[in-house]
Every structure is written in structure tokens, then in C-alpha cells.
Structure 1
Amino acid sequence: MTTTQIRQGERFALAAVALFGVVACLLGFLAEAHVGFNLWDEGFLWYGVQRVLHGEVPVRDFMSYDPGRYYWVAGLLWLFHVHGIIAVRAATAAFAAVGVIGAGLLVLRGSTGRIVARVALCVFAMVLCLLWMLPWWKGYDAAMSVILTASLARVLAYPSARRLLVHGIVVGLAAVLGRNHGLYGVIACLLATPVLMLCADKPVWHRCIRAWLAGVVLGFAPILLGLILNHRFAVMFWDSIRFMLFEYKGTNLPLPVPWPWTVAVAQQPLSALIRPWLVGCFFVALPLFCVSGAALVLRRTRHDRIIANPVFAASVLTAVPYLNVAFSRADVGHLAQAILPCLVGFLVLPWPKQARVVVQWLGCSVLAFATLWVVLPLHAGYVMRTQPGWVSVDVRGDRLWMSADTAVTVKDIDELASRYVHAGGTILSVPVWPGAYALLGVRSPVYETYPLLPRNDAFQDQEIARLRQAVPQLVLANDVAVDGRDDLRYANTHPRIWRYISTHYHRIGSPVGEPQLEVYLPDAEK
């Protein structure tokens, strides 16, 4: 085969992979766009997008993730003149598609063999990534791990000043989406340094370092400008960092790691044991891949004096810092946010030539089985088709299919608000339903819309001052022990605010379908 034919084949494969990725992502979105509704994390994102469309600034004006994802969604919604939850999902799916297609292109670039087999492997990779894109509102985080991997692979293939400048911009933009992603990108670059130093063709380090730093500053410029030009944004930004590092001293609500040997086998059928055991195996596989992959990259680079497979090396180096995502709150949702670099690395792993076909396809079969068993029960489309009782409900103009329990919750919130909240009024929803604000289209009377973590007295006093000013006409308080922990009940994490509610509001009971929901009205309405 001539060089021209090879290049034409590569271009055709590139186009085929990209086209399949677009179609697969579109079909995946259409399959679940109108299914399910989550008042917790999904509502938290949707409310933030609503506030941005009203001119507010994330972090400064309301509790939020870092600003990037809100402006991405709000920009697309403004462009197409839409505002509902389906539109928010579509904008998120568009960003997630970048990660899915990027994973396919990485596998195409990092794999070897016949072009047909490589394209088939790319298709498998993209389907696998689509399955792991859950929950949907976390598609930004999963996609960003792939984007950072792809950008780093480009640097490792040819570490020039220009490529390091571009990679720095990508790392900076990742931090705009989530400062943790920016940190992971920086750590992956630091881990890549000894690998690059082992190469025979060393880059001009002083030029490359300056270029990379300049790129990070350029990418992070939106936040830097906000910190310089807006005092209130700067105060709240640094306070959010101070709270996580010095007050709460963590990044998430931790869960014990579900190692496979901790699965309780007593008096349970085999079918009930398979899924938790497989979840545990994935948690074992992630650090195992990182350690063994790093050793393989270092050994081969020292021997060959060149990075033989930049995609594999970038996957390993990026997967290492993303272990923090998986293990900071060890559930399948956070595993899904961290696993994509590992999946890409596994699919392009340089197996010995004699065993490549057998080992690779056997491994893919096992991986496909484990993935389907673990993630399908978390896809709303699959659950709706396997469980009875789902109903269609109007959510601010969009029809969504949701479980009977969720439908009752949405109905109760709508009925309580229509009965007690007058035009221009608002509600207080604590601690786990930030989606109630988005559902009703009202502004939260407090800054902390998702109050899961304990807060000090000074912060609570500030929130009480906001409540005095806004005077919510309805309080929805879920008396739930988050993660089964009584110390995470709202009355224990925010005792001063709870005392204020108990003093200035009176309870009227709970809806029939929501026994855990405590409903309060202002004392003036006794």
C-alpha cells in the first residue's frame, strides 16, 4: 500500500469515527432527553443556568460549580431562545459529545493494526464512553478528562513551545469549568516532565515552560479578570477555597470504597452480588492501571528514548490525578467521572504482538459485560423501560417521563407553591432540593442553595440576614440524613438557621406522598 493510500485511509477513518460519534451522541441524547428528573444535582445545575440568564454571576451571587459550565449552557440557550430543562440537557450533551468523539479519535490515533479493526475499536470506545456518561449533568467533568488527555497526548507526540502553549490554554479553560480539573491538568503535566526528560530529543525547556505558563494564564483569564475587576466575586471565590481547604477540609462527602472483598454475601442471591462486586473490581482496576501503566511508560521510554505511544502515556498520566474524583466519594457516579482516561488507555495498551488480538478482544468483551451490568441501572431510559409506573409530567413547558415518586414530589411542590406563594414571592428549600427553585422559576432567598455541609455561625448569620430581607412565603425542609448520617441533617449542619425557621415560621404538616418533608409558613400567616 502506498503512502498516499495510507493517508487517504487515515482521513477516511478519521471522518468515519467523527461521524459515528456525532450520530451516536445524538441518538443517546434523544433516547433519554425526556426521561427522568432529579431535584438534587440536576436541579442545582438548572437553577444556576436560570440565574445566569437573569444576569447573575456564579460563585459571586449564588452557590455553584465554577462558572464555565453555566456560561456554556446559558450561551447556547440564549442563542437558540430556549430555557427549559430539555435545552439544558441538550447543551450539556453537546459538551459531553466532545469528550466522546475525542475518546474515539484518541483510540484511532493510539491503536495499531488494520484500519478496519482500528475503526471498530474506536466505535467500541465511543459506545463505552456514552454508557459511562452518567449522571448526565456530570458530562462536563467526564468530557474534560478526555480533552485534557487529548491535549497532553499532542504535547507528548511533539513537545514544542507552540503545543505547550495550546495545552496550557486547555488546562486554564479546564479550571474555568472546574478548578479541580485545572489542578488535575497541572499535575498530569508535572508527571509528564520526567517522561519528557528521558526522551532523546529534549525540548527547549525554558521556552516550553514559559509558553505553557502563558497558556494557563490565557485560558484562566476569565476568572483572573473577574478576580481583579469584581471585588465581590473575588471575596466569594477565595472564601469557597478557604471553606473547602481549612473549614470543611475536604472536597466531597466521603463514602467508603466498595472494594470487591467487602461485598456482603450472606443471604443474598448471586444476581444481587454481581453488580456490587463488579463495581468493586472497577475501583481496584483504576489504581492498578495507573501504577502498571506508569511503570510501562517509564520502562519503554528509558529503553527507546522516545515516547512510543503518546496516547497511552497521556491516558496514564491524566488518569493518576483523576483518581481523586473516584475515591473522594466512592460511588459509581464519581467513578464514571474518572474512568474515561483509563478506558482509552486500556484500549490502546501496547500488548505483545503475539497475543494482541486475543487479549485485546477478550479484554473488550469482559469490559463491555462489566460496563453494561454496572451502568445500565443508572440510565433513566433503561430504568423507565424496565420498571412500571412512570408517568409524563409537565416541567416548565417540557414533558418529562419520571417515576411515580418523583412525579408526586413535583406535583406537591407545584401545589404548595400555587397555594402559598404569591406573585413575586419566593420559597426556601433545604437541604436537598435546589431544583425546587428551578422548577418554580424563583430566586433563592439565600446564597447556599444546596446546603449539605456544616457551616460556621458567621456564615449562618449572613444567610439569616438574607432570609429577613427576602421573607420566603414557604419553607420546604427535607428531614433527611444524607448518606444515612444524622450529623448531616440540616438541623445539625445549620443549627442557627434552623432555629430561625423554627422561631419565625410554623409547621403545617407534610404532604401525603412526602412524609419526610416539613412544610412551614411565616408566623404572620397563622
Structure 2
Amino acid sequence: MEPSVRNFKGNWHRSDNVGLSLVVLLGVVACLGTFLLDGRIGFSLWDEGYLWYGVQQVLHGEVPIRDFMSYDPGRYYWAAGLLRLFHADGIVAVRAATMAFVAIGVAAGGVLVWHQSPGRDIVRFGKCALAIALLVMWAVPWWKGYDAALSVILTASLAWVLTRPSAARFFLHGVVIGVAAMIGRNHGVYGVIACLVAAPLLLLGTSKPAWRQCIPAWTAGVVLGFAPICFSLVLDHRFAAMFWDSIRFMLFEYKGTNLPLPVPWPWTMHGGGALTLSLVTQWLTGSLFVLLPLFCIVGLAVVLNGLRRERNMAHAGFVACVATAIPYLNVAFSRADVSHLAQAICPLLIGLLIFPVHDVARSMHRWLVVPLLLIVSLLITIPLHPWYQSRVQSGWRVIDVRGDKLRMSDAAAAPVEAVERLANRCIPNGSTLLAAPVWPGAYALLGVKSPVWEIYPLFPRGDGFQNQEIARLQQARPSLILIYDISVDGREDLRYAHTHPRVWEFVSANYRQIPGPDNLPGLLVYIPKSTVD
């Protein structure tokens, strides 16, 4: 190991402590700056509304998964806990709480790069600043910031263990994995797989950890970190039933974790002979889908070669990046778009920055690879940030979203205005609406409870589940039904009438269609047949 490389030790020099503090501060400031730029720009009733509604319902005492369709509970309780301190439930407050979590991941990434970079402090700090900039740029869309941040936190925690393996460190890393699983059970699985990839590498070194102590400690840590979910599964039978049913549905009924998209390989891009910035960006995005598995393969080869020569894990941070990047391939390729690429790319970004190179290769890495990584990231991610979109696109205006003034495009404003206008016209006090399949944010926008459990009904469902939802509709008797009749991802089989035919029949039998907004031709509006329009 190079003597200039700092690792995760227990004691630090004063200069190292100052540098470390500056890195953490820079990460927090970068996230704060990003929030100030983007926090009041843009809005979506789709995925963003899905998170917002869940946070609102937790503030009202409901339990994610048990009472409404949701991600895993951790992110809702994190956001709701912060919002409760400020007596807020608006979308800007949810964005702020999410960015606070992202700041933890960004700071962790900066700390990892600081301790795993050789050279003078000024050079190390510059590399940390670049890492922080890359992580902040790739934290898009904002509501997926939890997932991107967790990949960094798991990487940094694993690097800390690999640097000096001990039972105490394995235990604390297990806790990190367990907590990650509460925010997203897939992240817990990825954390476990990363450990299973890294653990055999420790066997190849000369100093082997005391496995009889480390494995039980790690297992205890995972259980402790995941304990709130474990207790809920034992004490709350309704939660347990819905939790296990969600796993059963994904594994055995739908047999997938996402709506798949074809991988945008760079050789599939066609621009009709015209080279445009959009085509270049698409090609670069596709190239990153090639780079992800290539990094895992080459990185593993580099790690094994280093262990063979030195009989010691000299670059623990890089090993952690490779080990964590491997399971996160599933995130990128389960739905191969830039949003899911952003959730999986962080271990690669850090790994490329701390790639173990020497002599001539070090100069090439510093002056070619690192600048190229920055340029590619800028071209791909900056157009995805709301602040940039609002500057280059026309037709943006300020809309009131449940008390928050947001600047959004006409396309984003149209459904918000339509929902509010139809609600004022058709929903009396104490009643609710059904919004399907892609507008869960309509409930949060109006501050009403969904009449059904499945607030984001994208996947095909069987008759038994649909009958349960119909029973909920009969009990809630919504005064307004909004069905945005679109073919999700261009697939006709994913229209609501095909994924939920029995619910569609119920709506047709008990509700009558009235004219919808002219600027939303796909929106089907229904009111009870007994209602006088």
C-alpha cells in the first residue's frame, strides 16, 4: 500500500481532521445549493406524487405497505420525522427531507474518496470536490435520491470494514445493511451480495479476519438494523400479510421487480444521419450501460491481480466499489433508462476516481479518464435537473401546489390544474376520488385518502386482488374517478382496462363519463350515475 494513502483508521492527524471536516461540509453545501436551485421547480403527479402521498399518510398515522402501496417504510419515516418537527406536509418540505438524506450519501462518498486517495491534501481535496459534484449531478430524479445515496453509504461502509476487518466493524456494517433494507429491501440484498463478493477476497490476503467472531457479529448487526421491520412482522399481522404478499406478487405472480425497458446500447442509436446533441447524449448514456458491467469485470480482475502480487488488500475502497457495483447492475438493467442508471452508477463513479493506477497510467487517469467522466456526466445529467429545464424551455409558470409555489412547465401544470378544478366541482367535503393508474400525487395534492390500497396500479393484477379493491371502492364511494388512459411505455397491455379489467367493469357499471379537459385528451372523467352534473 502506498504510504500516502489514508485509510479508515481510528486516529487522525490534525490536518486530516480539518480536511475531513471540509469534505463533509462541502458535501452538505453542495446538496443545499442543489436544493435551493431545484427545490421549487418542476412537479410530477407520477413517481414524485407516489412518495409525497406516502409521507402524508405516515404523518396521519398510517403504515406503509400495510395501509397503502408504497416503497419500503424507512424513507417515509425519515421524511415524516423531519416534517413533523416543522409541522409541514408540502412537497417542498418532502424534497428538503429527501435532500438531507442525499447529503449523508454525498458526504460518505466524499469521505471515502478522501481516505482512499494518495498525494497531497490539496490534490485529495480536489478529487473529493469532483466526487461530490458527480454524486450531486447524478442525484436525479430527486425522489430517487434515497436509492442513490444508499449505494454510496453501503460502499463506504464496506470499505471501512475491508480496511481493517474486525468483529466490531462487521457488526456496524451489518447494522448499515439492515437499515438500508428498511428503506429498500433490494438495497439490503445488494449489501449482503457485496459482502459475499468481498469476503472471499479477504481469504486471499495474509491477514485474515477472525471469521468465527466476524460472521456472527455481522449477522447480529443485520438483524438489529432490520429489527423494526422484524418486530412489525411479528406484532402487526396486517402488515405481515401485506409485506409477504408484496414479495409473493413480485416473485411468483408478476415475476419481476419493474416494468422492463430495452437496454439503450450505443450501437442501437440512429439519428437519420444528423449528429445532434440529443443523439450524442443518448449514445453516451448507452455507453455507460456498457461501462457498468465492464467496470465490474475489469475491476474484479484488477483486485485479484493485486491480491495475487501483494497478498494484501491495498485498495479497500476500490474493492468495495467493485463489490457493490456488481449487485447494483440489477437496478440499472431491470428498467434500463437514465433514471435507474443514476441509481446504480455511484459505486462506478467513485471507483473510477480512486482506480489504483501507477506511473504513466496515473497521468492518463488524471488528465484523460477523470475529465472525460466529468464531461460525460455533465452532458447526461444537467438536462435532467429542473433548474436547467426551466431555463432552456419555454412556457414555464408558477402554480400553487397545496400551499407551495412551484415553477413548472405547461405539461406539468395541466394535470395539476385539471385535478384541482374537477375536485372543486365534483368532490364534496368528506369525499374522495380514485386516480388511476399514474397519478398517485392527486391524493397528496388534494390532501385526501386513497379509496384503494394500490395507489399506483401499473402491474397486471388477478381477479382476487381486484375484487378486494372493488370492495374498498364500494365502501369509500369516491365522488370522482380519473383514469388517465395511456399505454404505459407504449404497451397496449399496460392500459388500465387491461391490467385491471374487473375494476374497469365496476367503474363502467356504477359511474358515467363526463367531458374531461380539452388539453388532456387521454383523461377519462367519471362521476356516480346518481349524480346530477
Category of TM-score, reference length = shorter chain: over 0.9
Amino acid at match of 1:40: W
Aligned to 1:134: 140
Query: Which secondary structure does the structure 1 equivalent of 2:486 belong to?
Result: coil
2:220 to 207, 214, 231: 214
Work out whether 1:144 is the aligned partner of 2:150.
yes
TM-score by length of 1: 0.98
**1:168 matches 2:209:** no
AA matched with 2:148: A
Q: How many equivalent pairs are there?
A: 525
Q: Which residue of 1 aligns with 2:347?
A: 341
Q: How does 1:190-339 map to 2 (within 5 A)?
A: 190-339=196-345
Give the residue type in structure 2 aligned to 1:100: V
SS of the aligned residue for 2:359 comes to coil
Q: Any idea what the Cα deviations from partners look like across 1:154-200, whole Å, max 9, x if unmatched?
A: 11001100000001111111100000000000000101121011111
User: In structure 1, how many angstroms separate the alpha carbons of the residues matched to 2:290 and 2:387?
Assistant: 29
Structure 1 residue 85 corresponds to structure 2 residue 98:
no
Structure 1 residues 439-483: Cα deviation after superposition (integer angstroms, max 9, x where no partner): 000000000000000000000000000000000000000010000
CA distance in 2: counterparts of 1:363 and 1:406, whole angstroms = 38
For residue 95 of structure 1, report the CA deviation from its aligned partner.
0.1
Code of the residue aligned with 1:269 in structure 2: it is: L
1:516 aligns with 2:525: no
| Runs of 4+ deviating beyond 4 Å | none
The superposition leaves residues 34-73 of structure 1 with CA deviations (integer Å, 9 ceiling, x where unpaired) of 0000100000000000100010000000000000000000
**Partner Cα separation in structure 1 for residue 212 and residue 367 of structure 2:** 44
Counterpart of 1:362 in structure 2 is 368
**RMSD of the TM alignment (CA)?**
1.5
Task: Give the fraction of aligned pairs with identical amino acids, expressed as a percent.
Answer: 58
Once the two structures are TM-superposed, the CA of residue 267 in structure 1 deviates from its matched residue by: 4.4
Deviations 1:472-517 (A, max 9, x none): 0000000100000000000000000000001100000220111110
Of residues 353, 358, 365, the one that matches 1:352 is 358
Superposition pairs of residues 376-387 of structure 1, within 5 angstroms: 376-387=382-393
Q: Does 1:464 align with 2:451?
A: no
Pairwise CA distance, 1:24: 1.1
- Cα deviation for residue 232 of structure 1 reads 0.3
Please tell me whether residue 60 in structure 1 is matched to residue 99 in structure 2.
no
- Alignment partners' CA distance in 2, 1:153 and 1:7: 20
Q: Which 5+ residue runs of structure 1 have no aligned equivalent?
A: none
With 233-242 and 401-410 compared, the bigger mean Cα shift is at: 401-410
* Distance (Å, rounded) in 2 between the aligned partners of 1:456 and 1:26: 45
**Aligned with 1:14: secondary structure?**
helix
Alignment correspondent of 2:488: 482
- The structural deviation recorded for 1:147 is 0.5
AA partner of residue 217 (structure 2): A
Pick one of 118, 123, 126 that aligns with 1:120: 126
Other structure's SS at 1:87 match: helix
Once the two structures are TM-superposed, the CA of residue 389 in structure 1 deviates from its matched residue by 1.0
Q: What is the CA deviation profile of residues 106-152 of structure 1, one whole-angstrom value per residue up to 9, with x for unaligned ones?
A: 11111111111110010011011100000000000000000000110
Partner of 1:156: 162
Q: Choose which of 104, 111, 115 in structure 2 pairs with 1:105.
A: 111
Cα-to-partner distance string for 1:280-317 (whole Å, 9 max, x where unaligned): 11101111001100111111112212110111000110
Flag structure 2 segments of 5+ consecutive residues without an equivalent: 7-11
Displacement after TM superposition at 1:319 (Å):
0.5
Deviation at 1:358, TM superposition (A): 3.4
Alignment of 1:15 with 2:15, yes or no, is no
Partner of 1:28: 34
**How much does 1:23 deviate?**
1.2
Partner of 2:9: none
Instruction: Name the aligned partner's letter for residue 62 of structure 2.
Output: E
Residue 45 (structure 1) aligned with residue 45 (structure 2)? no
Counterpart code for 1:215? G
SS in 2 for 1:392: strand
Give the drift of 1:7: 2.1
**Counterpart secondary structure, 2:527:** strand
- Comparing 195-204 with 230-239, which one deviates more in the overlay? 195-204
What is the CA-CA distance between 1:92 and the residue it aligns to? 0.1
In structure 2, C-alpha distance between the alignment counterparts of 1:292 and 1:269, rounded to whole Å: 31
Match of 1:94 among 100, 116, 119: 100
Name the aligned partner's letter for residue 519 of structure 1: V
Matched residue SS, 1:22: helix
TM-superposed CA distance for 1:8, in Å, is 2.6
